[in-house]
Amino acid sequence: MFAVAADVYPEWDAAFAAQLIEEFRLPEKRPIKKLSRGQLSAVGIIVGLASHAPLTFFDEPYLGLDAVARQLFYDRLLTDFAEHPRTIVLSTHHIDEAANLLEHVVVLDEGRVLLDADTDELRGRTLQVAGRADAVDAFVRDRDVPARERLGGLRSATITAEPGDAEAAERAGLTVSAVSLQNLIVHLTSGAAASVTAETAAA
């Protein structure tokens, strides 16, 4: 497999491939058809990274990998990208795991684009405020609130952020925190998905 890759990809980095084979502990003499799911994923990762192809797709590349191996992939991907910049497309359902890798996010639902934005822009769209339920309710009364949660007398709410909202929330005695990229995408796309469903039903 790696010998074929070396012939196919002009920028193939044999030394990097050998390093990755050792780090992922691949049994080099075992036939491909006898590799486990995780080992097959490691083969794909190694080809994708060591090829240095100008356009590289990783489609759920971590299937079968444990947490340590997934982190190894993310670390090597970042390091190699810094040394060999190129376009890398990563499809994933583990959004928070890959959040620090992403410069741009596209969310697809049944073939339709629900979201297409730079990661930094997305992170600036929302805030989470938390505190006493009455204080949170008063603060968010005239704001767009994609999500709310309540536990006893406490409440948290995710709001579509406007300039100055963080400072205003703190003045109101509320705790302000960033929304994880995964939760943010869920909040931002749930309404869009419902809209798409309604549009499809109407059609």
Instruction: Name, of 20-29, 123-132, 192-201, the range with top average pLDDT.
Output: 20-29
Dist. CA 203–CA 199, nearest whole Å: 6
> Does residue 134 share a domain with residue 87?
no
- Element holding 97 (H helix, E strand): helix 95-98
- What is the per-residue pLDDT across 161-190, written as a single tens digit (0 to 9) for each? 888 999 999 999 999 998 888 887 777 677
Residues facing residue 89 across a β-bridge: 57
Taking each helix axis from N to C end, the angle separating 67-83 and 14-23, rounded to the nearest 10 degrees, works out to 160
Give the residue numbers spanning the domain of 86. 2-91
197 domain residue, yes or no: yes
Decide if pLDDT at 88 tops 90: yes
190 domain residue, yes or no: yes
What pLDDT score was predicted for residue 28?
Answer: 86
109 domain residue, yes or no: no
CATH number reported for the structural domain that contains residue 133 in this entry:
3.30.70
> Does residue 126 share a domain with residue 46?
no
167 domain residue, yes or no: yes
| CA angle centred on 45, ends 41 and 51, rounded to 5° | 145
> Does residue 55 share a domain with residue 11?
yes
Band the pLDDT of 191: cuts 50, 70, 90. Answer: low
- 8 Å CB contact between 147 and 157: yes
The count of domains in the chain is: 2
**Residue located via tokens 């997305």:** 122
CATH number reported for the structural domain that contains residue 42 in this entry:
3.40.50.300
108 domain residue, yes or no: no
183 domain residue, yes or no: yes
> Does residue 86 share a domain with residue 8?
yes
- What is the per-residue pLDDT across 60-72, written as a single tens digit (0 to 9) for each? 998 999 999 999 9
- Give just the sign of the alpha carbon dihedral 47, 53, 58, 62: positive
Taking each helix axis from N to C end, the angle separating 67-83 and 37-50, rounded to the nearest 10 degrees, works out to 10
> Does residue 87 share a domain with residue 6?
yes
Residue 171 CB-half CA count within 13 A: 6
